């Protein structure tokens, strides 16, 4: 019965991953950018709904397992693994960081425009510092971040697991607040960003919260890797 439970959950998880990753061309050949972004966002939302439906089925299987004394240990183990993998909701005290582009008035003659916008490496610097400081769960723009999450910068837009976002960017982290605060204050990359905040008026706000809620990761859990041709 325990094997059946694991197989059932694994099958549903694989189906959820397929629902969020099935065959989309990530490099469109042309067309209006706004229309392409709108179309991609709609398709992501549709796949997200499919994944949410499958996730509810997984939860139903685990709930049923909790009511069966013979497989309690397996169900508890599965739930603990889901927590570690970021597949369940996290709640607790933490830190919220908001990053934003500089105001239009900062774009004076002689200033490189690249100095006035939040870049991919800036977001990664803050996220990495929070992890290093003891974060147990981290989200960006409300999306749970896990080890396979890709943060990609395309022009002035950041794409997280296929979904485009514009500033301001909000990073939330649940965990050891003193540790995360210390890590932010000592990270060379974060300190460098703060210099640009002072000189070019980039936006940065760090807040402490007693009660943050970060939802589960809902993207694909399947990995793609290169294979030799022969």
pLDDT > 90: percent of the chain: 42
Give a yes or no: residue 185 inside a domain. Answer: yes
- pLDDT given at position 96: 98
Least confident interval from 34-48, 94-108, 147-161: 34-48
The answer to whether residues 185 and 207 belong to one domain is yes
Give a yes or no: residue 226 inside a domain. Answer: no
Give a yes or no: residue 172 inside a domain. Answer: yes
The answer to whether residues 74 and 178 belong to one domain is no
Q: Is the pLDDT of residue 86 over 70?
A: no
End residue of a domain, out of 85, 105, 131: 85
Picking from 5, 83, 26, 18, the residue whose alpha carbon sits closest to that of residue 47 is: 18
The answer to whether residues 112 and 78 belong to one domain is no
Q: Is the pLDDT of residue 147 over 50?
A: yes
The answer to whether residues 65 and 16 belong to one domain is yes
Enclosing domain of residue 71: 2-85
Cβ burial of 160 (10 Å; 0-12, 13-18, 19+) is buried
The answer to whether residues 133 and 63 belong to one domain is no
| 8 A C-beta contact, residue 139 and residue 145 | yes
The answer to whether residues 100 and 202 belong to one domain is yes
Q: At what angle do helices 177-186 and 188-200 cross, to 10 degrees?
A: 70
The answer to whether residues 160 and 208 belong to one domain is yes
- pLDDT given at position 168: 95
Q: CA-to-CA distance for 210 and 50, rounded, in angstroms? A: 33
The answer to whether residues 120 and 191 belong to one domain is yes
The answer to whether residues 69 and 123 belong to one domain is no
What does the mean pLDDT of the chain come to? 77
Give a yes or no: residue 77 inside a domain. Answer: yes
Span 5-23, pLDDT tens digits: 444 444 444 444 444 444 3
CATH number where 189 lies:
3.30.70.1880
Picking from 22, 68, 54, 40, the residue whose alpha carbon sits closest to that of residue 165 is: 40
Picking from 36, 44, 75, 19, the residue whose alpha carbon sits closest to that of residue 154 is: 36
| 8 A C-beta contact, residue 137 and residue 208 | no
| 8 A C-beta contact, residue 83 and residue 76 | no
The four Cα atoms 188, 193, 195, 199 give a dihedral, to 10 degrees, of: 170
- Residue 150's alpha-carbon distances to 121, 166, 171, in angstroms, are 12, 16, 15
Least confident interval from 1-10, 50-59, 163-172, 200-209: 1-10
pTM reported for the whole predicted model: 0.65
Give a yes or no: residue 227 inside a domain. Answer: no
The answer to whether residues 13 and 114 belong to one domain is no
- pLDDT given at position 153: 83
The answer to whether residues 173 and 208 belong to one domain is yes
**Tokens standing for residue 28:** 């469109």
Picking from 7, 222, 200, the residue whose alpha carbon sits closest to that of residue 117 is: 200
191: which DSSP letter? Answer: H
Picking from 158, 100, 149, 142, the residue whose alpha carbon sits closest to that of residue 128 is: 149
Give a yes or no: residue 230 inside a domain. Answer: no
- pLDDT given at position 157: 83
The answer to whether residues 80 and 107 belong to one domain is no
Give a yes or no: residue 220 inside a domain. Answer: no
């Amino acid at each position: 019965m325990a094997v059946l439970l694991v197989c059932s959950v694994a099958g549903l998880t694989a189906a959820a991953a397929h629902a969020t990753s099935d065959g989309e061309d990530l490099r469109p050949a042309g067309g209006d950018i706004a229309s392409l972004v709108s179309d991609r966002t709609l398709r992501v939302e549709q796949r997200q709904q499919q994944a949410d439906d499958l996730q509810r089925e997984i939860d139903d299987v685990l709930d049923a397992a909790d009511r069966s004394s013979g497989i309690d240990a397996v169900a508890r183990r599965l739930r603990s693994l889901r927590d570690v993998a970021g597949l369940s909701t996290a709640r607790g005290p933490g830190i919220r960081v908001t990053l934003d582009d500089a105001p239009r008035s900062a774009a004076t003659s002689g200033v490189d425009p690249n100095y006035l916008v939040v870049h991919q490496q800036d977001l990664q610097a803050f996220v990495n510092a929070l992890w290093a400081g003891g974060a147990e769960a981290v989200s960006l723009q409300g999306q749970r971040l896990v080890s396979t999450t890709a943060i990609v910068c395309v022009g002035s837009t950041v794409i997280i697991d296929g979904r485009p976002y514009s500033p301001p960017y909000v990073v939330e982290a649940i965990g050891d607040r003193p540790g995360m605060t210390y890590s932010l204050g000592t990270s060379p990359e974060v300190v460098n960003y703060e210099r640009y905040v002072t000189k070019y008026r980039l936006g940065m706000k760090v807040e402490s919260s007693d009660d943050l809620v970060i939802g589960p990761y809902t993207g694909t859990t399947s990995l793609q890797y290169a294979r030799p041709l022969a």
